[in-house]
Structures are given as structure tokens and as C-alpha cells.
Structure 1
Amino acid sequence: MRRVRYESAGGPLFVEEAAVPEPGAGELLVRCEAVGVTLPVVRKVTEAADPIPLGGEIAGTVVAAGEDVSRFRAGDRVTGLCFGHGYADFALLREDMASPVPDDATCVDAVALVRGGLVARGALHAAGPVRGESVLVTAAASGAGQLAVRLARVLGARRVVGAVSDPAKAGFVRSLGADDCVRYGDERWGEPYDCVLDAVGGDLLTPALAALAPHGRLVAYSSGGGTIQAYDLLVGAKSVIGFQMALIARGRPELYERWRRELWRLFSDGALRPAVHGEFALEDAAKAHEAVQARANLGKVVLRP
């Protein structure tokens, strides 16, 4: 089978031939039909000291199951988070990380919707009820950001605004249902917001906090780090809430599953359809990474083995 790999931090991605892995206990062997490219994986390729397996969101068809697998069998379509080599024709997926793909959805739909949608839904859950409120979403054109914009509207937000790095993305963000779109470098981001969902972090935390109305909440769910001054919280009695999807998946699996079912219900009803920026062959994985790293994508970037 083909597999994408690299040999040193920041080194070029290349396709190599590798043996098809054997599923161990509790594992599924999946023929990959779609692989989601995420910013955390792109960052690790450029920043990690040692090479890592290129994993992430995969979707495809089960071709074999290891011992102790009870929920899936060969022929089932599944999606889930792969912690090993996922940029490949075949990948191993733990059964407890797998969920079924409905008949009315494609595997591309699955990798564009589930993980990013869970992150977006979780960030909105962390923010508290947003019905009747104003919400600002940073990285609004990203795989998770686009879904946060749409979900905020579904959950009854009065006003939803997207924030992006490039004004050329404004039309796309408005097409998601946003009332407006602002640029990170703008001096002001419009009216003060009841809630800001931030997926960027770093230097953007300060203007994101400044954009909040008194008693507003900033939900930080970025891997980009950053620092906030306590005084900036005291002025206006603002709050910062951290959110991490892994803690929900491990600690509250029933909530994780409820959100997953909610996402697929909204998808089937036509109320939530993820945008896909582009589909890349495995041989073009470097181009897919470039699009995500440059924040040039409008929606989810997907590999198609």
C-alpha cells in the first residue's frame, strides 16, 4: 500500500510503499477513502523534533477486525481519529474511536463534518447558551470554524460574525450564514460580542478579549498558545474558558456521542453541510499541508487515497 511519511522536522512529505498493517485487539483495518488534514498535524510536521506518524481523521470501509471487536465488521463504513499512520491506503482505527457513516453521507462528508463539528459544538457548549447573543468566530473559514459559524446560527445566536486573516475570505464566510466578516488586522471588530470562539490563539488573544462586551466569554480552543493579562479580565468582568475535545471524549463519552448524533441529524436535515476546500491525492499531501499552513483554505482540506 501507499503511505505518506517524512524523515525530519520540516522535511518534505513523500509517498512510500509499506505493508498493509494487521489489526490488533480492539482495532479495525480501514480502507481509507478520505483523510482530513488538520492544523495540529501540519504544525507537528514543521515543529516536532522527531518525525511523527501522519494521523488524524479518516473515513472508509472496514476490511478486517481484530480480536474483541464487537460493533463493526467487514463492509461497514466508519470514521474516526487515527493515532497511527492515517495518510495511507489502509489505516488502523481503534474501535472505541470509530463511529458509523450514515448511508446518506460520503466519506468526504464524514471527515469534513464529524471531528471539526465536534470541536465546534464543544466550544459552543463551553461558551454556554448563545441563543439571542452575539458570537464572533475566529478562523471562520477553517474546517472547524465554518461549522462553528453555522452551529452558532442553528443554536439561536442573534448575530454571528466571522474573523479571518484575509479579506478575500469574506464572501465565503458570509455564505455560511454569518452576518458580517472582519479581518484580524482591523482596528475594531464591530460591536462588542457576548461570546468569542477563538481557534487561533497567540497574539490574537488580546484583540479577541478586547472584542468582548462586559461579562462576555472567550472560549480558547487553539493549539497556538498565547498569554492573557489578568487586568484585561477584571475590566469588564470577562471570562476565559479553555476547551479541549480529548477531555470530553475520554471523560464524558455520553456527551461526545450525543453531539455526534446531533451533527448527523443536522446533516440529514440539510441544516449543517460542511464546505470542502479541496480534495488532494496522497502524492499531493504537501500541497494540502501548504494550504492549511498558509490558512488559504475555505473549508476542510481532504486527502483522497
Structure 2
Amino acid sequence: MRRVRYESPGGPLFLEDTPAPEPGPGELLVRTEAVGLTLPVVRKVTEAAEPVPLGGEIAGEVVALGDGVTRFEAGQRVTGLCFGHGYADFAILHEAMASPVPEAASAVEAVALVRSGLVALGALEAARPERGEAVLVTAAASGVGHLAVQLARLRGAARVVGAVSDPAKADFVRSLGADDVILYTDDNWGDPVDCILDAVGGDLLTTAIAALAPDGRLVAYSSGGGTIQAYDLLVGAKSVIGFQMARIARGRPELYERWRLELWRLFTEGALRPAVHGEFALEDAARAHEVIESRRNLGKVVLRP
């Protein structure tokens, strides 16, 4: 099979031929039809001390089962987050991270909707927004962010604000239902908001905390790190909540399943529209990474093995 990898931090991505992996206990071997790229994996290529497997959201057909798998069978279409080598013709998916794909959905729609949508929905649930509150979403044009904007509106937010790095993304974010679009560099982020879903982190956290109304909540699900001053939270009794999807998938499978069904219901009804920025062949993985690194993407970036 073909697989994309690299040999040194920051090194070029290249295709290699290698035997298909064998599924271990509790694992599925999937013939990949689509791979959704994620910013944390793209960052690891340049930031990790040693080369790491290029994982991500995969969708495809189950071709083999490891011992102990009970929820899936060969020939079934699934999607989920692959922590091993995902940029490949075949990939390993742990049963706990896998979800079935409805017949009416394509593999590309699955990788654009499910994992990113689960993060967006989970972060929104963690923020505990009440109907009529204002919600701000950073990285609002990203694979997760563009779904979070729509979900915030569907959940009854009175005002939805999208924060982006480039004014060229404003029309796209407004088309998703955002009332306002701001730039990270704006001096004034407008009226305070009750909830912020943050996928950026870093120095932006200080500005985001300042944009919260009293009793406001910021949900951090970014791999970008950052530091928050306790005093900034004490003033106004603000809160910061960390959210990680993997903990839900492994520790609360019933909640993971409920959220997954909710996403597919909204998709089937036409209420939730996953956007795909572009589809790239495996040999063009470096170009796909460059789109994400330059923050040009509007929606999900997908590889098609």
C-alpha cells in the first residue's frame, strides 16, 4: 500500500510503499476513501522532536477485524480518528473511535462532518450556552469552527460572532449564519459575549478572556497552548473549560454516540452543512498541509487515497 510519511522534523512529506498493517485487539483495518486533515497533526510535522505518524479523521470500508471487535463487521463503512498512520491506502481505527457512516453520505462528507462536528458540538455543550446568549467562535472558517458557528445558531444563540485571521474569510463565515465577523487583530471585539469556543490559544487567550461578559465561559480545545492570568478570571467571575474529544469517545461512549446521531440528523435534515475547501491526492499531501499552515482553508481539507 501507499503511505505518506517524513523522516525528520520539518522534513518533506513523501510517499512510500509498505505492507498494509494488521489490526490488533479491538481494532479495525479500514480501506481509506477520505482523510480529513487536522491542525494538530500538521503542527507536529514541524514542532515534534521526532517524526510522528500522520493521523487524522478517516472514512472508508472495514476490511479486517482484530480480536474482540463486536460493533462492526467487514464491509461496513466507518469514520473516526486514526492515531497511527492515516495518510495511507489502509489505516487502523480503534473500535472506540469508530462510527458508522449512513448509506446516503459520502466518505468526504463523513470526514468533514463527524469528527470536526463532534468537537464543535462537544465544545458547545461544555460552554453550557443558554438560549438567547451570545457565542463567539475563533478559527471560525476552520474544519471545526465552521460547524461550531452553525451549531451555535441552531442551539438558539441570539448573536453569533466569528473570529478569523483574514478578512477574505468574512463572507464565508457570514454565509454560515454569523451575525458579525472580527479579526484577531481588531482592537475592539464588539459587545461582550457569554461563550467563546477557542481553537487558537496562544496570545489570543488574553484578548478572548477580555471579550467575555461577566460569568462568561471560554472553552479551550486548541493545541496552541497559551497562558491565562487568574486575575483576568476573577474580575467578572469568568471561567475557562478544557475540552478533549478523545476523553469523551473512550470514557463516555453513550454520549459520543448521542452526539454522533445528532450530527447526522442535522445533516440529513439539511440544517448542518459541512464545507470542504479542497480534495487532494496522497502525493499532494504537502500542498494540503500548506493550505492549513497558511490558514487559507474555508472548511475541511481532505486527502483522497
* Superposition TM-score tier, normalisation by shorter sequence: over 0.9
Match of 1:43 in 2: 43
Equivalent residue for 1:188?
Answer: 188
Distance in 2 between residues matched to 1:210 and 1:94, nearest whole Å: 40
Tell me, in whole angstroms, the C-alpha distance in 1 between the residues paired with 2:15 and 2:174.
38
Q: In structure 1, what is the equivalent of residue 273 of structure 2?
A: 273
Q: Which residue of 1 aligns with 2:145?
A: 145
Q: Structure 2 matches for 1:127-206, cutoff 5 A?
A: 127-206=127-206
Query: Which is further off, 243-252 or 199-208?
Result: 243-252
Tell me whether 21-30 or 173-182 shows the greater mean CA deviation: 21-30
Q: 1:11 — aligned with what?
A: 11
Residue 235 (structure 2) aligns with = 235
**2:293 is the alignment partner of 1:293:** yes
RMSD: 1.0
**CA-to-aligned-CA distance 1:276-305 (integer Å, 9 cap, x gap):** 010000001011111111111100000000
Q: Which residue of 1 aligns with 2:108?
A: 108
**Comparing 26-35 and 153-162, the one that deviates more:** 26-35
Q: TM-score, normalised on structure 2?
A: 0.98
For the 8 Å contact 2:97–2:250, the answer to whether it is kept is no
Q: Which amino acid aligns with 2:132?
A: G
Change (3 A) 1:269 1:12: same
SS of residue in 1 equivalent to 2:144: helix
CA contact (8 A) 1:136 1:195 kept: yes
Whole-angstrom CA distance in 2 between matches of 1:162 and 1:146: 9
Give the match's secondary structure for 2:69.
coil
Aligned length: 305
Deviation at 1:129, TM superposition (A): 2.8
* Partner deviation per Cα, 1:65-115 (whole Å, 9 max, x = no partner): 233222222211111111211100111112222110001110101111111
Matching of residues 80-119 of structure 1 within 5 Å: 80-119=80-119
Q: Distance in 2 between matches of 1:29 and 1:242?
A: 32
Query: Unpaired runs of 5+ in structure 1?
Result: none
**Distance in 1, Cα, partners of 2:128 & 2:86:** 34
> Structure 2: where are the runs of 5+ without partners?
none
Query: Which residue matches 1:253?
Result: 253
Return the alpha-carbon distance in structure 2 between the equivalents of residues 178 and 106 of structure 1. Answer: 27
Secondary structure class of the residue paired with 1:143: coil
Equivalent in the alignment of 2:55: 55
CA distance in structure 2 between the partners assigned to 1:15 and 1:205 by the alignment: 38
Q: Which residue is 1:24 aligned to? A: 24
Show CA shifts across 1:48-68 (max 9, x none).
Answer: 111111111100011222332
Deviating more after overlay: 134-143 vs 19-28: 19-28
Contact 1:165-1:183 within 8 A present in 2 as well = yes
SS at match of 1:278: strand
What is the rounded CA distance, in whole Å, between the counterparts of 2:83 and 2:196 in structure 1?
30
Give 1:209's aligned residue: 209
- Which secondary structure does the structure 1 equivalent of 2:203 belong to? helix
Deviations 1:164-213 (A, max 9, x none): 00000000000111111100001111111111111100010011011111
Q: Which shifted more, 8-17 or 88-97? A: 88-97
d(CA) in 1 for partners of 2:234 and 2:71?
50
**Structure 2 CA distance for aligned equivalents of residues 71 and 246 of structure 1:** 18
Using structure 1 for the length normalisation, give the TM-score. Answer: 0.98
- Inter-partner Cα distance in structure 1 for 2:182 and 2:142: 15
Distance in 1 of aligned mates of 2:17 and 2:172 = 38
C-alpha contact (below 8 Å) 1:130/1:152 kept by paired residues: no
Percent identity reads 80
Q: What amino acid sits opposite 2:218 in the alignment?
A: L
Structure-2 residue corresponding to 1:73: 73
The question of whether the paired residues in 1 share the 8 Å contact of 2:199 and 2:220 is answered with: yes
Whichever residue aligns with residue 275 of structure 1, its letter is A
User: 8 Å contact 2:202–2:225 — kept in the other structure?
Assistant: yes
